[in-house]
Amino acid sequence: MVPLEFLKELPKCEHHLHIEGTLEPELLFKFANRNKITLPNDFPTTVKDLKDKYNFNNLQEFLDLYYVGANVLITEQDFYELTMAYFKRVSKQGLVHAEIFYDPQTHTSRDISLDIVTRGIERACKDAQKQFGVTYKIIMCLLRHTDPKDCSSLIDDAAKYIKDGTISGIGLDSSEKNFPPALFVECYEKAIKLNPDIKLTAHAGEEGPASYVSDALDLLKVHRIDHGVRSADDDALLERLAEEKIMLSICPLSNVKLQVVEKVSQLPLQKFLDYGVPFSINSDDPAYFGGYLLDNYIQLSKEYPQWGFFTWGQIVKNGITHSWIDEKRKEELINEVDGIITKYVNRSG
């Protein structure tokens, strides 16, 4: 097993992080007080009790917390502080680049404007880049369980941000089954028309079948797949992902928490490596799902002890290569990875 310090030192990119899923109890209470929000009667009243609750036992408990959590976010400052808190925490774990999801419909449906949410997150990203040297991209997700015409309206509303590059990518999340990629073709096409350079991704193949991954590639023309673990069911698809160099943004601890697998070692990551399918390691909704970026790396290192410095190096380099950053930064980061590998190999030798 590689040493913890090695994992910590690796320059990591995160591609699958829902910013609303980073709301820690301290901030939840802070925002609720500041915004004069009356929490439900049976809601925990202390940070400690709420933290205990975060070890929820069933989906209903998770949703109860998640819904309340999302609803305390009201002002631009709330979104700023939420986002900054994430960067502050994870920059200490070796984060060098983050591509952040946000779900505007979660907030616009509560009469919180798209501008408030977007500006708050973007301002934090800019400040984090200055303070921590972490580069960023912002990905606007469509909620697939909502009516596609509502998603289409969101694209219209976000046109200025898509055109000026504030929103760098479009994603698709929420309940996968019964809401296949085909429903959102026109939304994605609309986004491309607004900005031909926009990047596209979609959650697929987490609870949905491998064909959702193929459909996301063929119909939505995505550049990346979020989750995609069910791709392992289809060898031809794996060959395609390898050939077309489509990266999967894998979320190990989330997959366990949501029972996609029983334990991290059951994820088909070795199969992905064997087929040459690139993947990155991510935290998804870390406040709720058991750990931030480095926690996911650590758990993997425990359950895949056969992965040495070079395998880890390759995984991290894949994440860098498939990040939506310029070639110069990619080269810098890859060189940094090589330097770290050399250091640890020489040290252990």
- Residue 89 makes contact with another protein by CB under 8 A: no
Among 1, 9, 39, 308, binds another protein (CB under 8 A): 39
- Residue 75 makes contact with another protein by CB under 8 A: no
Binding mask 96-115 toward another protein (x if CB under 8 A, else -) reads: -------x-xx--xxx----
Q: Tell me how far apart the alpha carbons of residues 184 and 172 are, in angstroms, rounded to a whole number.
A: 9
In which residue are the tokens 């990040």 written?
A: 323
Nearer to another protein, 285 or 313 (CB): 285
- Residue 281 makes contact with another protein by CB under 8 A: no
* Active-site annotation, residues: 206
- Residue 346 makes contact with another protein by CB under 8 A: no
CB 329 within 8 A of CB 135: yes
State which of positions 244-263 bind another protein (CB under 8 A): 244, 253-254, 256-263
- Residue 175 makes contact with another protein by CB under 8 A: yes
Closest distance to another protein from the beta carbon of 100 (Å)? 12
Nearer to another protein, 120 or 290 (CB): 290
Q: Tell me how far apart the alpha carbons of residues 297 and 15 are, in angstroms, rounded to a whole number.
A: 14
Among 31, 86, 136, 184, binds another protein (CB under 8 A): 184
Closest distance to another protein from the beta carbon of 58 (Å)? 5
Among 5, 186, 274, 326, binds another protein (CB under 8 A): 186
Q: Tell me how far apart the alpha carbons of residues 43 and 40 are, in angstroms, rounded to a whole number.
A: 5
How many residues are listed for the chain in this entry?
349
3-state secondary structure of 121: helix
Phi, psi of 127 (to 5 degrees): -65, -40
Q: Tell me how far apart the alpha carbons of residues 26 and 31 are, in angstroms, rounded to a whole number.
A: 9
Closest distance to another protein from the beta carbon of 127 (Å)? 24
Among 9, 115, 127, 234, binds another protein (CB under 8 A): 234
Q: Tell me how far apart the alpha carbons of residues 117 and 172 are, in angstroms, rounded to a whole number.
A: 18
Closest distance to another protein from the beta carbon of 30 (Å)? 15
- Residue 195 makes contact with another protein by CB under 8 A: no
Query: How far lies 41's CA from each of 23, 37, 68, 125, in Å?
Result: 20, 12, 12, 35
Phi, psi of 12 (to 5 degrees): -100, 145
- How many alpha carbons fall within 13 Å on the CB side of residue 89? 18
Closest distance to another protein from the beta carbon of 214 (Å)? 7
Stretch that binds another protein, among 67-75, 83-91, 162-170, 341-349 (CB under 8 A): 67-75
Feature table: binding site for Zn(2+):
16, 18, 203, 284
Nearer to another protein, 168 or 283 (CB): 283
Feature table: binding site for substrate:
285
CB 319 within 8 A of CB 245: no
Neighbours of 314 (CB within 10 A): 15
Binding mask 287-326 toward another protein (x if CB under 8 A, else -) reads: ---xx---x---x--x------------------------
- C-alpha torsion sign, points 176, 177, 178, 183: positive
- Residue 63 makes contact with another protein by CB under 8 A: yes
- Residue 122 makes contact with another protein by CB under 8 A: no
Nearer to another protein, 53 or 329 (CB): 53
3-state secondary structure of 182: helix
| Assigned token pair, 101 | 């999801």
| Assigned token pair, 326 | 């310029």
Q: Tell me how far apart the alpha carbons of residues 349 and 345 are, in angstroms, rounded to a whole number.
A: 6
Closest distance to another protein from the beta carbon of 212 (Å)? 8
- C-alpha torsion sign, points 205, 216, 58, 81: positive
Binding mask 127-156 toward another protein (x if CB under 8 A, else -) reads: --------------x-x-xxxxx-------
Stretch that binds another protein, among 83-91, 125-133, 228-236, 307-315 (CB under 8 A): 228-236
β-pairing, 95-102 with 12-18? parallel
DSSP-assigned letter for residue 244 = T
